[in-house]
Amino acid sequence: MAVKYALVAILAVAVTTFALQNTAPTSVLFLVWTLDAVPLAGVVLLAVAAGLVLAGTPLLVTRLRYRSRVRSLEARLTELQTRDATPPRPPSSPHR
């Protein structure tokens, strides 16, 4: 777990360094929109964030679907275990 935190910290330092070193204003053109004097680091970081959201959304939907399936299977397993744990009733004898 400590290795993961160290990697995140290194990545955060790298992103901060990138943002501090790339403050030159640039213009951004997209279809009919034009933005002037936007920091280059802001454009790159916004593009990365948009990519993460676009890539992460299908993964999140899949994960939620699997989680729902696991819950339903666990409930069914509990139901079957409960049913098997109850002793069977003796067969009723016919009245003579």
Can you spell out the DSSP letters for 11-74?
Answer: HHHHHHHHHHH---EEEEEETTEEEEEEEHHHHHHHHHHHHHHHHHHHHHHHHHHHHHHHHHHH
Instruction: Give the pLDDT mean for 69-85.
Output: 89
Whole-model pTM: value is 0.56
Which range, of 47-51, 64-68, 79-83, 92-96, averages the lowest pLDDT?
A: 92-96
The pLDDT of residue 95: 67
Q: Does 2 have pLDDT greater than 70?
A: yes
